[in-house]
A and B are shown apart, each in its own frame.
Chain A
Amino acid sequence: MSTTITETAAPRRTERPTPAPIPFGRLVSVELQKCFDTRAGYWLMASIGITALLATGAVLLWAPDSEITFSTFASSIGFPMAVILPMIAVLSVTSEWSQRSGLTTFTLVPHRSRVIAAKAAVTLGISIVSMLLAMAIGTVGTIGGSAILGVDPVWDATTVDLLNIVLAQTLGMFVGFMLGAVIRHSAGAIVAYFVYSFVLTGLTEALAQTQDWFADLRPWVDFNYAQGALFNGSLDSTQWANLGVTSIVWLVIPMAVGLWTLMRSEVK
Chain B
Amino acid sequence: MITVDSLSKTYGSFRAVDDVSFTARPGRVTGFLGPNGAGKSTSMRVMVGLTPPTSGHATVCGHRFADLPNPGRQVGVLLDASAQHAGRTGREILSIAQRTMGLPRGRVEEMLDRVSLTSSEADRRVRNYSLGMRQRLGIATALLADPEVLILDEPANGLDPAGIRWMRDLLRGYADEGATVLLSSHLLHEIEVIADDLVVIGNGRIVAQGTKTELLASAGTLVRTNDVPAMSAALTASGVPHTVSSAIGGSDALRVETDAELVGKIALDARIALLELRAAEGAGLEEMFLELTSDNQRETQTQGDAA
Residues of A within 8 A of B (CB): 1-2, 4-6, 10-14, 16, 18-22, 26-27, 29-30, 33-34, 37-41, 95, 99-104, 106-111, 264, 266-268
Contact = CB atoms under 8 A, between A and B. Distances in A.
B131 interface: no
Given A20-B69, A104-B84, A266-B52, A37 B99 contact: no
Contact of B100 (A40, A103, A108): A108
A interface majority secondary structure:
loop
A22 B70 contact: yes
Contacts of B110: 6
Contacts of B88: 37-38, 101
A34 B96 contact: yes
Contact of A13 (B52, B80, B100, B148): B148
Contacts of A101: 83-85, 88
14 contacts: A1-B102, A13-B147, A19-B74, A22-B69, A26-B102, A37-B88, A39-B87, A100-B80, A100-B84, A103-B80, A104-B97, A108-B100, A110-B68, A266-B50
A110 to B, nearest CB: 4
Contacts of B103: 4, 6
Most B-side CB within 10 Å, residue of A11, A39, A102, A110: A110
Contact of B87 (A12, A38, A103, A110): A38
A26 B84 contact: no
A33 B99 contact: yes
Interface of B: 26, 45, 48-52, 65-66, 68-74, 77, 79-80, 82-89, 92-93, 95-97, 99-104, 107, 110, 125, 141, 145-148, 174, 177-179
Contact of B104 (A4, A26, A40): A4
Given A13-B177, A107-B71, 18 more contacts: A10-B177, A14-B26, A26-B99, A27-B100, A29-B99, A30-B100, A33-B99, A34-B96, A37-B88, A41-B87, A99-B84, A99-B86, A100-B80, A100-B84, A106-B50, A107-B49, A110-B66, A268-B51
B interface majority secondary structure:
loop
Contacts of A10: 177
Nearest to A96: B85
Nearest to A103: B83
B132 to A, nearest CB: 19
A16 B62 CA distance: 13
A107 B145 CA distance: 14
B71 A110 contact: yes
Contacts of A27: 100
A120 B202 CA distance: 42
Given A20-B70, A99-B85, A6 B107 contact: yes
A30 B92 CA distance: 11
Contacts of B147: 13
Contacts of A110: 48-49, 65-66, 68, 71
Contacts of A18: 69
B87 A108 contact: no
B45 A6 contact: no
Contacts of B92: 37
Given A13-B174, A38-B85, A19 B97 contact: no
A99 B69 CA distance: 26
A264 B49 contact: no
A92 to B, nearest CB: 12
Contacts of A111: 66
A264 B49 CA distance: 10
A1 B50 contact: no
Contact of A6 (B100, B146, B174, B178): B146
8 closest cross-chain pairs (CB), A and B? A38-B87, A100-B83, A13-B148, A110-B66, A21-B69, A103-B83, A19-B73, A99-B85
B141 A104 contact: yes
B82 A100 contact: yes
Contacts of B87: 38-41, 99
A20 B72 CA distance: 11
A5 B145 contact: yes
B102 A2 contact: yes
Contacts of B93: 104
Contacts of B99: 26, 29-30, 33
A30 B26 contact: no
B100 A14 contact: no
B96 to A, nearest CB: 6
Contacts of B51: 266-268
Contacts of A37: 88-89, 92, 96
A93 B4 CA distance: 31
A194 to B, nearest CB: 23
A169 to B, nearest CB: 26
Contact of B72 (A38, A107, A268): A107
B7 to A, nearest CB: 15
A10 B146 CA distance: 10
Given A4-B104, A13-B177, A30 B148 contact: no
A11 B147 CA distance: 10
